[in-house]
Structure 1
């Protein structure tokens, strides 16, 4: 293996001592041309120093095989600074193996690197800088360190100037952290929920066994306050829905919203302990409604097409690209006082000279190949969707579907977008038979209890008199939203794949996934958040077919992990969902239901009990158990803050030379006994699901189980014990997912 590749961008192969003073400057009339050209005049600044405002934020992009035995890890770092004529530089160096006992850790690695920052966006108050770089995968799990120079760090704020991150060995797949709903809904008592406490638990787990990637499933930030204490407050209070729809989104309001969204990102992404994770665990993100505003995309079409929604969609998209993707934004966003922008309802917003008069935007030469760009702009966010594909180490692939940019009340994604995504997946899986698992990220769960009866009630004529009383006298005010006057929960229900208007799109998506699994013998595991509780849904073959899970291309678990920060729903809501956990039939051959895996409420171990007591946590009983979260009959949903860990069951059991050899079997080489037509498939249906919950070997999230063969996956849900615990201690629930061997397998006369 070649361990000395030319692996940086900017100035290459820097092996000297790192700079200690700021001497790099950028003439104000020079643009960052080596990655693109600029739109708008270069912002003139007389400041001599770069003041760090936010960051660093670390992203993972993709991996590439260079064809000479070298495999490269691609990533980027983003910082936000005040404008200056200085240019920041990032110094990167390897610092050895994650485990000092690794027998391969004596391999020679590359020397240090020095990477120049590329400016993505600048205006009179702020500048965004990106550092792209590549490092080689080694024969061992490696640790890297980076530091950014020519910066003044904020005084009085504790932060490390250097950051480290881990890269798996070339024979490993990545250890994955999955989270969603990283913020608080409007009106939540943040102190009562100890703020973003679970990020402390994430960092503790990371210190014990590092995460290689951090997947954000949407709502990485909550921007809903823009209508409560932000520039949309006056608009929100307008009682007449026609006046609200016709309200202009002029340049003044755009600038105010721009300021609000920027400040909210700075506040949240600079807030510990979340900010500590941002610099050392590489991110992959898609967005959802709260990244824009609650319910965006799921209100009525006539209302969603109003100027204000089009305007905030553009502003939110701008900062979503910058903070969450490290990508330069469009040159301009929608305003109602720019005639060309108003006319551009069927296309992207054209450049606005007013907006460009005091800002500068990098024009990217080409899109990162990680992205699957939608074929046409969204209906309300007038930009193209950005779904993603990349490989997460040796045997796991990842696809994240942008299910917000194209969303309407009756559509999640355009049919043409699905075609692009599945063509890309087929191409990648065909080219690489080493891939055994595809992690598919959706914004909301897809294997989840139906709530159509609740939708029918909220949409029925019986709600008419209550709506009238609400408009005239404010009756049942908390039941209705202030946007389109409908029941507040209706936009959330309309968001679900299980909503009646998404029924056919949902079924078609699952069928296309089944065909992908069958064709390429790859197991799909779906990630979904949004619903503020933990659960595990599964699709699987109807028991009448007698197919074991290891050979069932229809078996697809849906890991539902939400929220890592927002408060969970009441116990009664979780219990209601559990009562609705029927065995549903997607079609004649595919069933679906939630796995009953929550064998008890989360509780403290003796060690965690002592730590919680030392931190003054109340309500801690002697046995460590907390207030009951669910009724005794509910083992399917857990209304407590949580996050998920996903990793291979036997990451050291497969070497580079053995990739693609063993079949998909359980730990002892056999396959599981298929469920029968009399089986309760809400209970475990294969070896990896047996004893699912706190007694499962995967529950800790810190050791490999060895279950489900050499290519199985372990899944851990880490669930908060007590919201009063500012350290965010969790308890673990686990199960394992078998790899798939669908090649040449026939059952009951059917050949796949």
Structure 2
């Protein structure tokens, strides 16, 4: 197996592989905007990183001939000749949907020319925009670039929704013993599961890379070491510092995205990503406003945004980023976006994108600390699942997550698209940070209270309790994480309004909303639902929204005591008079302990009383419960033995109505019954047939032991019913 340690990647020396040719003149700076003007002496495609494959969107939904759209990215040495990509269909996935119907499997090979997105004297980025037709069967497509090993990805059948893998926190916090945690071992489990039943898309929920080391062993260390907060706040972000940070972020991406087995998955499973703070730096956006406006924060925000667009979205970056010694970048253009700096463009080429991919929802104005516009996503994932991902970092401050006008753009887009796609039964919404989660306001109050002031003074003067306070604004280090949460007191109103808008969207379009969240380094399942007093079955409850919390796939989990504390705080909260929320008690046992004798069992991860939070690395799988077109009754009957008639094709089995005093931390519908290791969805490999024709199966794959470099996991499952809003309305129940 490949070494898990990120391989050393020295900076590229163009002189070793390239030769100069004539430079152009632009904006008074030699070679500005024209690229490094060098050519490769090898005449070959010298790849530094990749290939990375992304899913973008599907067109022709609702027609007989829809099309899958995606992109592939490679990073090369500068001066590399323009590469091409060849693509052809290998036929049906063995054992996949429609595998017996492959009469139209002969697809001719097609070739795509690479488009250069960016080039400077150290590297070049090439994008291949690809598209393939959906077939009557689940198809294998193979692509090849130059001398790179061919890669195969899977596209669902025309009648099939995509099988989703969801992950977050794919990196290590500063100071973590990477070897003790077996590196990114869980990606081995992802690849094993993919080999048995392929994933069609992997959704990155943020922190796909950890760039925090820039302040520890990178160019921001001298800045971090300044003790005076005012001097640190006013420290300039010069062009020289920008170049150093640019090189650090690039090399960190090359190192991490080239580390197996993560790098292997990057070429086989199409990605769909939204970023979070560690993609920039820990806590970005959640420190005090005056400090977030410091030149260094504005500068690294721009540099991180540049490589986020290139590596994670395959999109050309802005031509320049903020520096304090370039007036145009400080003042920006008429819209507030960073202006063009001729010095930054010296020997550099940046593609001017003529149009955005239709999946993007671009914010109307720049963020307060990153002078660029937010980039949220809406697309359809096959036949019956839609996806929306909110960019909750560009516009974030300590007191807001997204602008009101951005929410309006996003909800207007989703509503319009759902109106045009009546076959969609589920909306999967990515927020990055959990939203149905235990309250920690009591801890916020303690950390923000006057009792902390004497400790802060001792820290400032003598360094006492150094681990408690962050190096940026001097506040308690944990506060930026708490301020990130939707459940933080300052986000309370925004959170409530967001849930209400989702409820209205669900009700209007009769679509079930399921929310993805990461960030917190443990696994859990939160749910919103109608107060039991209203006697509304979950299958007909537009307020029922599960929050699938999967984090981290690579970073180490919090201590057992933290997870147990969160579980003890798992109360039944009331969002309003009609809506309750709580975590589902899904963890019936710790992973791996049932397969060992007592003396040989893995160490316990949770207290016996904790069935709601799991401090162990994990990722999630989301898949349809049924084969396309299959009508199957649930294998689980309601607790009272009755089976209600199916309505509108949405549910083949409807649970009994909740008792008014039901313990909603336990199952509230048939798909949640026996949630955990005994649930039919726990394996993540077999469709359960639960929750009606259009139900979803959800699996949390949880690491058994961090010492296992193969990353073996145990599964915990539950199922999500589609929404039968019409059936509920016909019963005359009050909404």
- TM-score for both structures, normalised by structure 1: 0.90
The answer to whether the aligner puts 1:586 opposite 2:575 as a matched pair is yes
Q: d(CA) in 1 for partners of 2:246 and 2:318?
A: 14
Q: Which of 622, 626, 637 is residue 650 of structure 1 equivalent to? A: 626
**Which residue of the partner structure matches residue 536 of structure 1?**
525
1:46 corresponds to 2:46:
no
* CA deviation after TM superposition for structure 1 residue 426, in Å: 0.5
2:610 alignment counterpart: 634
- What secondary structure, in the 3-state scheme, does the structure 2 residue paired with 1:553 have? coil
In structure 2, the partner of 1:145 is 142
> Does residue 259 of the first structure (1) align with residue 240 of the second (2)?
no
Conserved? CA contact 1:547–1:747, under 8 Å: no
* Cα displacement (A) at 1:106: 2.2
Residues 305 and 676 of structure 1, relative CA distance in 2, 3 Å threshold: same
Deviations 1:411-433 (A, max 9, x none): 00000000000000100111111
SS in structure 2 opposite 1:385? strand
Could you tell me whether the CA contact under 8 Å between 2:433 and 2:520 is conserved in 1?
yes
Distance 2:649 2:221 in 1: 56
- Whether the 8 Å contact between 2:653 and 2:691 is mirrored in structure 1 is no
Structure 1: how far apart are the matches of 2:489 and 2:107? Answer: 55
Report 1:705-724 matches (<5 A).
705-724=688-707
- Please report the TM-score for the alignment, with normalisation by the length of structure 2: 0.92
Q: Distance in 2 between matches of 1:94 and 1:43?
A: 37
Deviation at 1:29, TM superposition (A): 9.0
Partner of residue 107, structure 2 = 110
Is 2:81 the partner of 1:86?
yes
Check if 1:336 corresponds to 2:324: yes
Note closer, same or farther for the CA distance 1:28–1:512 as it changes in structure 2 (3 Å cut).
farther
Q: Find 2:677's aligned residue among 694, 719, 724.
A: 694
3-state SS of 1:445 partner? coil
Question: Partner residue of 1:741?
Answer: 724
The 1:496–1:395 alpha-carbon spacing in structure 2 relative to 1, beyond 3 Å, is same
Please report how far the alpha carbon of residue 652 of structure 1 lies from its aligned counterpart in structure 2 after TM superposition. Answer: 2.9
Give me the whole-angstrom Cα distance separating, in 2, the residues matched to 1:344 and 1:365: 21
1:728 to 684, 687, 711: 711
Matching residue within 349, 356, 363 for 2:338: 349
Q: Which of 137, 141, 151 in structure 2 is aligned with 1:163?
A: 151
Unaligned runs of 5+ in 1: 1-25, 31-37, 154-160, 607-619, 656-660
**Structure-to-structure mapping, 1:482-521, within 5 angstroms:** 482-521=471-510
Residue 170 (structure 2) pairs with residue 175 (structure 1): no
SS in 2 for 1:189: coil
Within 5 A, what are the aligned runs for 1:212-611?
A: 212-344=200-332, 347-603=336-592
Contact 2:582/2:664 (<8 A) preserved: yes
SS at structure 2 position matched to 1:321: helix
Asked if the contact 2:647–2:727 (Cα under 8 Å) also holds between the matched residues in 1, the reply is no
Contact residue 625 and residue 695 of structure 2 kept, 8 A: yes
Q: Is the 8 A contact 2:78 2:121 kept in 1?
A: yes
Q: Deviations over 1:424-481 (max 9, x none)?
A: 0100111111000000001100000000000000001111101000000111110110
8 Å CA contact retained: 2:433, 2:518: yes
Q: Which range is displaced more, 670-679 or 508-517? A: 670-679
Report how far residue 372 of structure 1 moved.
Answer: 0.3
Q: 1:84 to 1:401 in 2, by over 3 A?
A: same
**Is contact 2:521–2:615 with CA below 8 Å preserved after alignment?**
yes
Once the two structures are overlaid, the 10-residue window that deviates more, 78-87 or 184-193, is: 78-87
CA distance, structure 1, for counterparts of residue 200 and residue 538 of structure 2: 28
* Distance of 2:450 and 2:522 partners within structure 1: 31
Q: Is the 8 A contact 1:171 1:654 kept in 2?
A: no
Residues 470 and 735 of structure 1, relative CA distance in 2, 3 Å threshold? same
Q: Is the 8 A contact 1:562 1:642 kept in 2?
A: yes
The whole-number CA distance in structure 1 between the counterparts of 2:264 and 2:349 is 29
SS in 2 for 1:374: strand
In structure 1, C-alpha distance between the alignment counterparts of 2:506 and 2:21, rounded to whole Å: 54
Q: Do 1:602 and 1:625's aligned partners in 2 also have CA atoms closer than 8 Å?
A: no
Residue aligning to 1:663? 648
- How many residue pairs match? The answer is 692
Equivalent residues of 1:142, 1:166 under 8 A apart: yes
Determine the C-alpha separation between the residues in 1 that align with 2:175 and 2:553.
Answer: 18
Question: Runs (4+) of structure 1 moved beyond 6 Å?
Answer: 26-30
Corresponding residue SS for 1:181 = coil
Residue pair 1:692, 1:733 contacting (<8 A) in 2 also: yes
CA distance in 2, matches of 1:242, 1:323: 35
Which whole-Å CA distance do the structure 1 matches of 2:727 and 2:114 have between them?
Answer: 51
Distance 1:67 1:629 in 2: 47
- Structure 2: segments with no counterpart, 5+ residues: 1-19, 25-30, 632-645
